[in-house]
Structure 1
Amino acid sequence: MPNLGVNDSKLVSCPDTPNCVSSQATDEDHYIDPIIYPGSPQEAHESLLQIIGSEKRTRILTDQEDYIHVEFTSALFRFVDDVEFYFSNESAEETVIHVRSASRVGRSDLGVNRKRIERIRSKF
């Protein structure tokens, strides 16, 4: 399993391969907007757990107050992607959820990681 998590309020950087997106990436190929939730971190956390529960082939590996790590497994070839959510305290009015979604193997993901984050965002 890759070395993941939050260090100094940052998720691990994306590798040079195109099969990763992150709201903390500094380059546009890997960058994706964070999820903005109009409520408390606790409410955002609960909502996100419900959304993850509605997704197929998921397994929550880590569930902490400010961080969730989930494995998503593809239906056909059983590829595993690591998806991370970091609840940041950037604003009192809303919760910023930083995201990172990356394939464990291969180079290209045909946009699967980006589409997954956008699908999750749309369910908020």
Structure 2
Amino acid sequence: MFKRTLKLTLSTLLSFIVSLSLPPGLVAQAAPSPGFSNPGLPLASLFNFSGTRPDNLGVTSGELAPCPSSPNCVSSQSSDPDHQIAPFPINESPTAAIQRLQEILQQQDNAEIISAEPNYLYGEFTSRIMGFVDDVEFWADPDNNVIQVRSASRLGESDLGVNRQRIETIRSEFASPSS
């Protein structure tokens, strides 16, 4: 009885604290995740700042969506040095490269694959504590024999370099002979 009351009180307190620091439009999205108040579920994140899935993802005319002006996005197709990141070179068929990337993402605790096609892979990464969601895309560009990449936060201004670091970590695993 005491543990259940304590969890409910802590959950309510955290919701209240977060709601004080957020703009009114985000308060509804800042509710604690179900795993926080249900002891039978693993704790994925304390909060759920998932935002709304963008409707401009995917490949259009050979391009991934451009990065917004905020510094929380990287793209191999950006010409802006703040957002630019190198694509992944491939030495195999585009389909095999995307399949290897899918296997790498499946190994990540905080990744969920949303769409996997022979030449395109889209996943969502959720931060452990706050539940922020980042959209990550990989496209096998047949004209340049590379994987074009884009990783962007849905909410906020700064990501403290998380998207760039994520892509570089995946690049390292992708380039590894054992992957």
Using the alignment, how far apart are the partners of 1:49 and 1:14 within structure 2?
23
1:115 aligns with 2:165: yes
1:69 aligns with 2:119: no
> In structure 2, the residue corresponding to 1:49 is in which secondary structure?
helix
Structure 1 gaps of 5+ residues are none
Using the alignment, how far apart are the partners of 2:142 and 2:90 within structure 1?
12
Normalising to structure 2: TM-score of the pair? 0.66
* Structure ranking higher in helix proportion: 2
1:2 aligns with 2:54: yes
Normalising to structure 1: TM-score of the pair? 0.94
Give 1 or 2 for the bigger CA radius of gyration: 2
Matched residue type, 1:49: Q
Alignment of 1:1-124 (within 5 A): 1-3=53-55, 4-91=57-144, 95-124=145-174
- Which 4+ runs in 1 deviate beyond 3 A? none
- Report how far residue 90 of structure 1 moved: 2.0
> In structure 1, the residue corresponding to 2:140 is in which secondary structure?
strand
Using the alignment, how far apart are the partners of 2:96 and 2:116 within structure 1?
14
Stretch moving more, 101-110 or 51-60: 51-60
Q: How many residue pairs align between the two structures?
A: 121
Over residues 56-88 of structure 1, what are the superposed CA-to-partner deviations in whole Å (9 max), with x where a residue is unaligned? 111111111111110000001010000000111
* Structure ranking higher in strand proportion: 1
Using the alignment, how far apart are the partners of 1:56 and 1:22 within structure 2?
23
Structure 2 gaps of 5+ residues are 1-52, 175-179
RMSD, aligned CA: 0.9
Using the alignment, how far apart are the partners of 1:54 and 1:61 within structure 2?
15
Using the alignment, how far apart are the partners of 2:129 and 2:67 within structure 1?
25
More RCO (CA 8 Å, sep 6+): 1
- Report how far residue 26 of structure 1 moved: 1.1
Using the alignment, how far apart are the partners of 1:38 and 1:65 within structure 2?
16
Over residues 8-62 of structure 1, what are the superposed CA-to-partner deviations in whole Å (9 max), with x where a residue is unaligned? 0100000000000000001100000001121111220221111111111111111
Using the alignment, how far apart are the partners of 1:37 and 1:123 within structure 2?
13
